[in-house]
A and B are shown apart, each in its own frame.
Chain A
Amino acid sequence: MEPYTYALIFTGAMILIAAIISSLIKFEGGANPKDPGRRKIWFWIIAFMNGVLIYLAGTFLLAPNPEDDQMIFDDFMKALPIATAVGFLVFILIGFILSKIFKHGKLGHWF
């Protein structure tokens, strides 16, 4: 699988996880609720985890076997850091868009 395709699919899954975690964090009572901050923190934790996991999974699980074809392996490994960065940026971009679409809801706390 192309590292870019794999990174985008992975990013989509991580966005979904971030959204589920945000939804599961309850609205708190009192005059100084902390729940929006917790949702924001979880969004950024998952954003960084997304980048790290894309790179690690790409390296150890998805990279083609160099013994089969060294050139394909080299191309994959060359593209993987760029795909990781793209995945990280796309995560933030989708997060930003979702945050603006659902600005009155829990996802709105991401930005």
Chain B
Amino acid sequence: MSQNKLFVIAIGGTGMRCLESFVHLCAIGMFDNQEIEIFTLDTDSKNGNMGRVWNLIDLYNRVKTEPGNKKGGNPNADTFFSAKLNLYKFFTDYESESRITYRNISKLSDGNDDIKRQNQLLSDLFLEKESVQEFHLDHGYRAQTHLGSHLMYHSIVEAARRLLNNEAVGESEKNLEEFLAKLQKSGESARVFVFGSVFGGTGASSIPIIPVAFQDAIWIRSGEKEKLDLSEVKFGSTLLTEYFGFKKPDLLQMSVKKDSVIADSSFFPINSQAALQFYQGDPTVQSVYKRMYHVGWPLESKPLGESKLNQVDTGGSSQKNSCHIVELLCACAAFDFFTSKDSLSNEKAEYLFRSIEYDNGSFNFTGNDFVGDENKAGDIFMNKLGAFLSLAHISLSRNKAAWGDKGIKGFLVQLSQNKIQKYNAISDDETVEIDNYLKMFAYDFDGNKNFVPGWIYQIRKSAAPGKFVFSNDAFKENRAELEKIDVGALFLDQMHHWDKGTVGFRSGARYDKFVSILTNHGFPKEAQKVNTTKEQFLAHIYNGITISQNFNL
């Protein structure tokens, strides 16, 4: 995959959570030697899911940045945080009064009576007058995909016009311009993967129009001189059908005009069906997208976390939903798309899917189920995910970072006490940033000493009671049990438990043996391309755990 330039576009709440999984794949080291351009697109500038993934990427980049060196670090290989991530944020502006509804944006009240009448008739032809034209757009398109596609295309093209005319533009438009410039420059080496659902609002509205909207935006911005050749740029996406539900909106909430349309999750299966029919039949989508990955969850859709509100949470900063294993599968679809050796020169979209072992009403996941078994991808994935989970438990559980201690700092102290002092230059603040990332990855305890599940705990929970690569002991939630966790015995398959060494009869033997491996054999190699002290430190831990896990890589 060294020749390809990778781009990721995440759209809407579900797209953001898929991106969250993708970033964690980058953190475990699945995208070696890559610099990835990430574009987040939402209608809701305060959306909690989006804020969470922005924080995650910001933290990722701080972990990769060595003080005084290039922001975001450099791409590495066979180590944690191996990919370099560049984030671009774009959101549609629906906050001011003149842009809060379709009616206001479209200026249906402007002009003389004849123009007003014609505009209104045209709008009424496509959009329900009392609800769809009137609801507030700042919490997304609320499953009104016909309106959403129209407005999302409009917002991107409008931003291109503003850039062309040198109007005062914000960070959002500048980010769009930068991203499009990189996309245009990459030409046929660009692989673009789009995350979003097909059953909701913003993602479902945007997936079909994004390639064409970008093409038109580049054309407009360049003063009609440059064109993005959609036959050269390889677009891929998931067809992610419904996998969660939420409370049915009540009539009281919907009686307010701004909330006159609220997505109703009971319609998600029908939305999904309609979307799949559309993707199957639409010639533009068929010709622009090279691959589409069917991802679905045929079990009962789980509620999207506990809402403290009596009303449906339509968006905003409070909308921070738990992660689900299908989002990880979407991220793995991106991995497949980016690493495929296929030239992707097909003229019509390929549709791909994979099935998972189903037993006793639940799914049993192995590494191969996520990334396949070609070139030992499944083993590589399990090794990297297991290594990162072990590191998380070393920092959070064993070294007590989850309860306010300095986890990675403790690890550095241990290395220093074992006469490996080359990492002593890593500051306390830098170690805390790694701890904080691991908290988002695994778990944390809040100020009231309550357990707060992180990404992998949420993923595991969504797949329960089915199997998920690791044993149940890897996902303890009680402090006393976590402090005693055996960080070298997380896998279901005992073959990948760490060796206990010569004094293996006592607890802690695996960890002691691991430290011995780490301090004697785990030193970074040239092929890992790690230059800064922090990169070398992370590669060193990665090597030590990889040797201990005993995968045949």
Contact = CB atoms under 8 A, between A and B. Distances in A.
A36 B419 contact: no
Interface residues of B, number: 26
Interface string B419-445: 110000000000000000000000000
Contacts of A103: 418-419
A104 B398 contact: no
Given A105-B418, A108-B418, A108-B419, A29 B503 contact: no
Given A29-B400, A30-B410, A105 B520 contact: yes
Contacts, number: 55
B444 to A, nearest CB: 17
B414 A27 contact: yes
B503 A23 contact: yes
A30 B520 CA distance: 22
8 contacts: A27-B512, A31-B406, A31-B407, A32-B413, A33-B413, A104-B419, A105-B519, A109-B418
Contacts of B419: 103-104, 108
Contacts of A36: 417
A1 interface: no
Contacts of A78: none
Nearest to A105: B516
Interface in B472-530: 502-503, 506-508, 511-512, 515-516, 519-520
Given A23-B503, A105-B519, A31 B418 contact: no
Contact of A30 (B405, B503, B506): B405
Nearest to A24: B503
B498 to A, nearest CB: 13
A31 B506 CA distance: 23
Interface string B166-209: 00000000000000000000000000000000000000000000
Contact of A24 (B405, B420, B506): B506
Which of A26, A27, A29, A33: most chain B CB closer than 10 A? A29
B512 A26 contact: yes
Contact of B398 (A23, A29, A108, A109): A29
Contacts of A105: 418, 516, 519-520
A28 B508 CA distance: 9
B414 A104 contact: no
Contacts of B407: 31
Contacts of B511: 26-27
Interface band, chain A = 10 to 19
Interface of A: 23-24, 26-27, 29-33, 36, 103-106, 108-109
Contact of A29 (B410, B506, B516): B410
Nearest to A109: B417
Given A23-B503, A24-B506, A26-B508, A31 B409 contact: yes
A31 B413 contact: yes
A11 to B, nearest CB: 22
B49 interface: no
Which of A23, A31, A36, A105: most chain B CB closer than 10 A? A31
Given A26-B507, A27-B414, A31-B410, 4 more contacts: A23-B502, A33-B414, A33-B417, A105-B519
A36 B419 CA distance: 11
Nearest to B520: A104
Interface in B396-410: 398-400, 405-407, 409-410
Interface in B203-257: none
Contacts of B512: 23, 26-27, 106
A31 B410 CA distance: 4
A108 B421 CA distance: 13
B363 to A, nearest CB: 35
Interface in B17-46: none
B426 to A, nearest CB: 13
Contact of B410 (A24, A33, A106): A33
A-B complex: 5 closest residue pairs judged by Cβ atoms:
A104-B519, A26-B508, A29-B398, A31-B406, A31-B410
Contacts of B405: 30-31
B418 A30 contact: no
Which of A27, A33, A103: most chain B CB closer than 10 A? A27
A22 B515 CA distance: 14
B112 to A, nearest CB: 74
A106 B502 CA distance: 13
A26 B503 CA distance: 11
Contacts of B516: 104-105
A33 B512 CA distance: 14
Which of A32, A103, A104: most chain B CB closer than 10 A? A104
Contacts of B502: 23
Contacts of A32: 410, 413
A31 B413 CA distance: 7
B409 A104 contact: no
Nearest to A108: B419
A105 B414 CA distance: 11
Contacts of B515: 27
Nearest to A39: B417
Nearest to A26: B508
A104 B418 contact: yes
Contacts of B520: 104-105
A103 B410 CA distance: 19
B442 to A, nearest CB: 15
A103 B508 CA distance: 21
A27 B511 CA distance: 8
A31 B431 CA distance: 11
